[in-house]
Amino acid sequence: MLIDIHVHACKKRHPKITRFNGSLYPTPAQLIETMDAHAIDRAVVMSAVSPEYRYTIVTPEETLEMCAQFPDRLIPFCNFDPRFLRNDTDANFLPLLEAYKEMGCKGIGEYFANIPFDDPLNMNFFAQVEDVGLPLTFHIAQRIGAIYGCYDDLGLPRLEKILKAFPRLTLLAHSQPFWAEISADVTEETRGGYPGGKVTPGRVVELMRNYPNLHGDLSAGSGFNAISRDPEFGYQFMEEFQDRLYWGTDIANVPQDLPIVEYFRKLKRTKSIATEAFEKITWKNANRLLDLGIE
């Protein structure tokens, strides 16, 4: 069983509506083809509604419609921008959150409004997500402007503020500026990329040890790099946090290389991590968190 915690898709678009590099989100059918080619059983489809660095918007309604085409394969996440409704800190998102939860959305994501992570608009929204009981997948950015993601400083102090403020909110961490902090030698110059070499346990390890509501989304080059740059450390990290890590790819292009697929196949062959840890990361944790009911 493989449950992918993080993928993207959209309905067919006009050919000129593409990413800046010329690629395009897969359609639901193309996403299923990619999943089949890599033996991925189910996948969480992200919505994308914040305007930053976008070429197209994927609303929760579109995500629900796509997932309804393949209900045994695709799992919908809804999404909001904290500036939605009234663009103030009193905005009431609860009716919308409750409605999308009732319609089948299993979480929030990918959350990437390019404002400070602890901006009062975000804090208002996070409090209501905590009340509704949905997990939230976030993307961190290392600056404001010409990028997407919630801004945090080196050392992730704003994320820690959120973890303290909302202990019942499950946060799925994602992106380069988060996973680069797995090592203490990260710098302002390297935190936005994929630093290599041996890992000296850094802020990610510290935060995950101190805050049980922080979970790890291993998708994309960022998550994969974090666990593979120093294999021995990666094995230990996955063993220690086996209950709060989630396998994923971040499929967002057609075609796309997915190195984490073969990496985990090798882990299974070589038994580099315990079988139970492997199964938790590849599907059991997602099954439990999203209440999928898979036996």
> Alpha-carbon torsion 81, 84, 90, 94, what sign?
negative
Question: In this model, does residue 18 exceed pLDDT 80?
Answer: no
Quick check: is 220 in a domain? Answer: yes
CATH number at residue 9: 3.20.20.140
**Would you say 294 and 279 are in contact if contact means Cβ atoms under 8 Å apart?**
no
The number of beta carbons lying within 10 Å of the beta carbon of residue 158 is 18
Whether residue 23 has pLDDT greater than 90:
no
Cβ contact 141:110 at 8 Å: no
Tell whether 249 is covered by a domain: yes
- Note the pLDDT tens digit of each residue in 35-70: 999 999 999 999 999 999 888 999 999 999 999 999
Count Cβ atoms below 10 Å from residue 8 Cβ, excluding itself: 20
Q: What are phi and psi of 263, to 5 degrees?
A: -60, -45
Q: What is the mean pLDDT of residues 172-190?
A: 98
Which tens digits make up the pLDDT trace of 66-101?
A: 999 999 999 999 999 999 999 999 999 999 999 999
In a domain, 63, yes or no: yes
In total, how many domains does the chain have? 1
Residue 192, in any domain of the structure: yes
Calpha distance 91→294 (Å, rounded): 36
What per-residue confidence (pLDDT) applies to 22? Answer: 73
Q: Is the CB of residue 214 less than 8 Å from the CB of residue 173?
A: yes
Position 17 scores a pLDDT of 85
Q: What is the mean pLDDT of residues 197-201?
A: 98
Looking at the domain assignment, is residue 294 inside a domain? no
The dihedral sign for the CA sequence 196, 199, 200, 205: positive
The answer to whether residue 295 sits within a structural domain is no
Q: Over the stretch 133-143, which tens digit does the pLDDT of each residue have? A: 999 999 999 99
Kindly report the average pLDDT of the chain as a whole number.
97
pLDDT digits (tens, 9 = 90+) for 260-282: 999 999 999 999 999 999 999 99
Q: What is residue 119's predicted lDDT score, i.e. its pLDDT?
A: 98
- Domain interval for residue 187: 3-289
Q: 228-259: per-residue pLDDT in tens? A: 999 999 999 999 999 999 999 999 998 999 99
Report yes or no on 104 lying in a domain: yes
